[in-house]
Chains A and B, each alone.
Chain A
Amino acid sequence: MKIAVVGKGGSGKTTASAIIARVLARNGAAVVALDGDTNPNLGLSLGVGVDETERLVGMRQALDAADGEHASDWDSLLDLFGSDGPDGVRFAVVSQIDNPEPGCP
């Protein structure tokens, strides 16, 4: 099941995404929350905290700068660029990848 949350910037999609993700997780689902925004704030709305959100954004930026390791599958991507958030939500910052490597999921 894949749910995409869209809307004008500032409309409330990040707040909505975070609550949807955590409530579904509390109800027993395995939830993966992805932040595709160029200003990645989903971590804060999820309750991951400023430091962890910034760490994940930094990793994402390192990838663009070709400094970072790449992921070959979804579990690796979540391990490298993701974090385990509250209620067991697995969370990753996946903002638009400018230079995808072959095999980049």
Chain B
Amino acid sequence: MLGNVDPADAIVVADLEAGIGTLTRLGDGAVDIVVVVVEPVPKSMEVGTRAAAVAAEKGIERLVIVANRVRDAADLDVIRAAFPGHEVIVVPDDGAIVEADRRGVAPLDMTPEAPAVLALSALAERLVPV
């Protein structure tokens, strides 16, 4: 389906099904950027490294790793070690996200200045500069 999307000049942000199934089935040219979200937890990084490998095989132009729920330098080191040579964006562990999720509201509305929200907002502008 992503291969057929072309609302003129639109940016499509697709939150894919958890895991790498959908990524694996993407056709050539279906996506321009793959954002791989990982936590500093082996199971999460395992899925992430597989996703990065699939994206590389498909020749996807740009791959960005989001190191999510990072508590300290050790967490970041673990993720950087798993993705050598890749662009890694750090999103800190942030109770504000958990609270927004508990309330069923957008973190961007509830706590726009929270560290994780700011980090993800900066990521957006890195992906598509203004």
Contact = CB atoms under 8 A, between A and B. Distances in A.
Interface in A7-53: 7-24, 27-39, 42, 44-47, 49-50
Interface residues of B, number: 59
Interface residues of A, number: 55
A24 B128 CA distance: 7
A27 B16 CA distance: 23
A1 B116 CA distance: 24
For the residues of B in contact with A, the DSSP-based class is mixed
B108 A22 contact: yes
A68 interface: no
B117 interface: yes
B22 to A, nearest CB: 6
A105 B1 contact: yes
Contact of A3 (B12, B69, B104): B12
B97 A2 contact: no
A24 B13 contact: yes
Contacts of A34: 2, 12-15
For the residues of A in contact with B, the DSSP-based class is mixed
B120 interface: yes
Contacts of B106: 18, 22, 44-47, 86
Given A19-B108, A47-B106, A8 B19 contact: yes
B37 A13 contact: yes
B13 A31 contact: yes
B6 interface: yes
Interface string A37-81: 111001011110110000000000000000000000011001000
18 contacts: A2-B2, A2-B5, A4-B2, A4-B23, A5-B16, A8-B18, A8-B39, A13-B15, A16-B35, A17-B15, A19-B121, A22-B106, A24-B127, A29-B9, A32-B7, A47-B109, A96-B22, A105-B1
Interface of A: 1-24, 27-39, 42, 44-47, 49-50, 74-75, 78, 86, 90, 94-97, 104-105
